[in-house]
A and B are shown apart, each in its own frame.
Chain A
Amino acid sequence: MPVDTDVVALNPVAGGEPAGGPRPLLVARGVSRHFEGMHAVHDVSIDVLPGHITGLIGPNGAGKSTFLAVLAGTLPVSAGTITFDGNDITGLPAFQRARQGLVRTFQLPSEFGQLTVLENLLAAAPTNRGDSLFGALLGKRYWGADEDRLVAQARALLERFRMSPKESDYASSLSGGQKRLLEIMRALMLQPRLLLLDEPMSGVHPSIVGEIAAYCEALRDEGLTILIVEHELHMIERLGNPVIVMAQGVVIGQGTMTALRQQREIVDAYLVG
Chain B
Amino acid sequence: MTYYLTTLLVYAAVDVLACLAISLQFGYSGIVNFSFIIFQAAGAYTAAVLSLPKDTANGGFQTYVLGLHLPFPVPWIGAIIVGALLAPPIGLVVLRRLRSDYQAIAMLVISVIASLMITNTPAFLDGAAGLSLVPQPLSDIFNPYSQSYLWVYAIGGIVVAAIIFVVVQRIINSPYGRSLRAMRENELAAGALGKNAVALKMTVFVVGGAIAALSGAILVGFITTWAPSTWLYPETLILFAAVIVGGRGNNYGAVLGALLVPVGFEEATRYLPPFGPPGLIPAIEWVCIGGLILGFLWFRPRGVIPERRRIFAPAKPAAVLEESGAGRH
Contacts and interface: CB of A to CB of B under 8 A. Distances in A.
Contact of A93 (B191, B207, B317): B191
B185 A143 contact: no
A263 to B, nearest CB: 33
Contact of A74 (B182, B191, B207): B191
A136 B170 CA distance: 6
Contact of A124 (B181, B193, B207): B193
B92 interface: no
B121 to A, nearest CB: 34
Contacts of A143: 174-175
A143 B190 CA distance: 21
Interface stretch (B105-113, B195-203, B217-225): B195-203
B186 A110 contact: yes
Given A95-B194, A116-B310, A148-B316, A110 B188 contact: yes
Contact of A137 (B167, B311, B312): B167
A151 B315 CA distance: 10
B329 interface: yes
Contacts of A74: 188, 191-192
Interface stretch (A78-86, A99-107, A199-207, A209-217): A99-107
Contacts of A167: 312
Interface residues on A, range: 35 or more
Contacts of B179: 123, 131
A148 B29 CA distance: 24
A106 B188 contact: yes
B171 interface: yes
A262 interface: no
B142 interface: no
A108 B194 CA distance: 19
Contact of A106 (B182, B192, B309, B312): B192
Contacts of A130: 174-176
B176 A124 contact: no
A168 B321 CA distance: 11
A115 to B, nearest CB: 6
B193 A187 contact: yes
A119 interface: yes
A230 interface: no
A62 B184 CA distance: 31
Contact of B189 (A112, A148, A152): A112
A242 B169 CA distance: 50
Interface in A137-169: 137, 139-140, 143-144, 146-148, 151-152, 167-169
Given A112-B185, A115-B181, A98 B329 contact: no
A94 B192 contact: yes
A167 B185 CA distance: 18
A240 to B, nearest CB: 22
A190 interface: yes
B186 A111 contact: yes
Contact of A123 (B171, B178, B197, B309): B178
A38 interface: no
A253 interface: no
B318 interface: yes
A5 interface: no
A144 B167 CA distance: 17
B24 to A, nearest CB: 11
A103 B189 CA distance: 10
Given A99-B194, A114-B307, A168-B309, A136 B185 contact: no
B177 interface: yes
A118 interface: yes
B178 A190 contact: no
A113 interface: yes
A193 to B, nearest CB: 13
A148 B193 CA distance: 20
A95 B182 contact: no
20 contacts: A74-B188, A74-B192, A95-B195, A98-B192, A99-B194, A103-B192, A103-B194, A106-B188, A110-B189, A111-B185, A111-B189, A112-B181, A116-B310, A119-B310, A130-B174, A131-B174, A143-B174, A147-B175, A148-B317, A168-B309
Given A95-B194, A106-B189, A112-B190, 13 more contacts: A99-B194, A103-B193, A103-B194, A111-B185, A112-B182, A114-B181, A114-B249, A116-B309, A123-B190, A126-B194, A131-B178, A152-B318, A190-B194
Interface of B: 167, 170-171, 174-179, 181-182, 184-186, 188-197, 203, 207, 249, 307, 309-312, 316-318, 327-329
Interface of A: 72, 74, 93-95, 98-99, 103-104, 106, 110-116, 118-120, 122-126, 128, 130-133, 135-137, 139-140, 143-144, 146-148, 151-152, 167-170, 173, 186-187, 189-190
5 pairs of A and B residues whose beta carbons are closest in the complex: A136-B174, A110-B189, A112-B185, A130-B175, A136-B176
